[in-house]
Amino acid sequence: MAHMTMPISITHHKPKLIIPSIVTPHETKHLSEIDDQGSTRFHVPVIMFYKYNSLMEGKDPAKLIKDGLSKTLVFFYPLAGRLIEGPNKKLMVNCNSEGIMFIEADANVELDKLGDSIKPPCPYLEELLYNEPGSDGIIGCPLMLVQVTRFRCGGFVIGFKFNHTMMDAYGFKMFLNALSELIQGASAPSILPVWQRDVLSARSSPCITCTHHEFDEQIESRIAWESIEEKFIQQSFFFGNKEIEAIKNQVSSYCECTKFELLTAFLWKCRTIALDLHPEEIVHMTLLVNIRRNLPKFELPPGYYGNAFITPAAISKAGLLCSNSLTYAVKLIKELKDHMNEEYIKSLADLIVIKGRPELLKYWNFIISDNRSAGFDEFDFGFGKPIFGGVPKAISLISFGVPVKNDKGEKGILIAISLPPLAMKKFQEVVYKMTLRNVEGDNID
């Protein structure tokens, strides 16, 4: 919780631009429609905390990362470029090797003094990922910012911010894999990056053939929504085996689902109860679905590091979602995923062109992304795995499921949720009632 955070002071050195270590092609590259949609025009933060490791004796983490980045940019050279706008505001990358931004910093404390506050929502984010003026724009700005902060104990933190139009979490994972391999002496990444963005571009005569509820317009809800949106606060919720088990008991036994489908249904229902909406109000739940993993028939080249996700939305009347058993919400999510296919992807790319890159619906929409397989908690650059690695907070309305261990060392899923203060209080009560009560009631450990 925010009020328990310890004040830390961090000295930031002057930012530098890192360019590829050898000359790379100067050209203009087009993004796909899936890259360049209304809701990807922002920077994604990812942060990793590393304890002191004797392998680091006499080495400077900032120098290692900096040298590694300039080698990695040889292979991922578009990331060293700048975005420009073509006709109809279509984004393209001017591969001009201007470089990514790099900041070295030093903290006046030991890393373990930060305790649990390294987990989302991380209160030190602004210190650990300094927002250098001009670094977070979309057009003509660096496409990545990296900050390495050294702590007094020899531990350090690596913070990244990357422009979402260039890649998704999976693409960024490829970049990190390459960085890790090159830092540890490889001459090239084991998987070479490929551009090929045309595979996810719109068809030559675009045509919307599927239903895309995530772009529904709800004019009436907007007014109620805008009065509360400013006041949102964030809190994280941990779901370990016990909590998942308690939630699972609320779904009928014949309804098979994954852990994340279950959790998504549960959070959507609790959030809707907490918002206390009119029963006839339509609520949305938008999933960020990675098409590399979830649509095996749709083949992308292994080195494809662009955005490859779709955003299908389930809808329900608020009253039905809140009064029905959890099985109802789970079924809606499962049906939604069953309808995902190649046609849906093409229809989405076409919609982005036809409707002029609309943003995802905000009003009463719960947007969630399962980031567990991104492996940000496993990245070893040659000096051990991080004690926490992942997206450090909910971004706007998007919640991320990140893998963490709780204080007992149990692995679970941590999800930061963004809500207005009154709804947050109610949400906490509902979540507690629907998980802990069941857990405590059947103390058969």
Of 35, 36, 43, 164, catalytic: 164
Rounded (5°) CA angle 248-375-189 = 150
Question: Closest Cα partner for 144 from 167, 112, 126?
Answer: 167
Please check whether residue 69 is in contact with residue 18, taking contact to mean a CB–CB distance below 8 angstroms.
Answer: yes
Positive/negative CA dihedral, 248, 249, 250, 251: positive
Closest CA to 236 of 7, 390, 439, 442: 390
* 148 C-beta neighbours (distance < 10 Å), count: 22
User: Does the active-site annotation cover 3?
Assistant: no
**Complete DSSP assignment for 13-36:** PPPEEE--SS----EEEEPPTTTS
- Strand 388-390 to 43-50 pairing: antiparallel
Q: Which residue has the tokens 């058969």?
A: 444
Type of residue at 263: L
Could you give the CA distance from residue 67 to residue 71 in angstroms, rounded to a whole number?
Answer: 7
Pairing of strands 309-310, 282-290: antiparallel
Which of 60, 116, 276, 380 is labelled catalytic? 380
Q: Inter-axis angle of helices 326-338 and 259-275, to 10 degrees?
A: 120
Q: Which two tokens stand for residue 47?
A: 């942060």
Mark whether 380 is an active-site residue. Answer: yes
Q: At what angle do helices 421-441 and 241-248 cross, to 10 degrees?
A: 90
Say which amino acid occupies 322: C
Q: Which residues are catalytic?
A: 164, 380
